[in-house]
Amino acid sequence: MNYWLVKSEPSAYSWDDFVKDGGTRWDGVRNYQARNNLRAMKKGDLVLYYHSGAGPGVVGVAKVVKEAYQDPTTEDDRWVAIDLEPVRALKAPVPLGDIKKEKRLKNISLLKQGRLSVVPVTKEEYEAVLSMGSVGK
DNA sequence: GCCAACGTTGGC
DNA sequence: GCCAACGTTGGC
């Protein structure tokens, strides 16, 4: 079991849209590192759902329901998509500012590689974020 | 709206 | 293969 974090601009596709849809295809990634992360995702892996832009932070948890396949939004076979489903919202969203202040999260890839839209998260980091979001394991 | 970080492109 | 120019992302 691995843990990840994906970013979305809420004005483009918010957590609420995701919940309303009951799941979505995560496509359109055009960055090699992010693509490699998508390829490494396994069915059942848990994914922190992060809002970028105004009021950035982690708002919910999703899970991988379909592993990497050819991204249908392009003919180019370098790119892949995965399918995600919502698991649950955090009781309290965890703002980026709090992530920056949290000692347990000082090495999180989200902070190390700010512009990557799909980043790995360790089990410890994942659990730290959930506890900050008032959600038990 | 600005700017820093950083990935990509293209000239050489 | 290097590196400058350029474009994009995302925080503020």
Query: Does the predicted TM-score (pTM) go above 0.85?
Result: yes
Does residue A35 lie within 7 Å of nucleic acid chain C, judged by its CB?
no
Q: Give nucleotides in strand C with any atom < 7 A to a protein C-beta.
A: 8-12
Report the 10 Å Cβ neighbour count for A15. Answer: 20
Of all nucleotides, the one whose C1′ comes closest to residue A112's CA is B5
Does residue A56 lie within 7 Å of nucleic acid chain C, judged by its CB?
yes
Does residue A89 lie within 7 Å of nucleic acid chain C, judged by its CB?
no
pLDDT of the residue at A80? 93
* Banded model confidence at residue A136, pLDDT cuts 50, 70, 90: low
Q: In this predicted model, what pLDDT tens digit does every residue of A23-77 receive, in sequence order?
A: 999 999 999 999 999 999 999 999 999 999 888 999 999 999 999 999 998 888 8
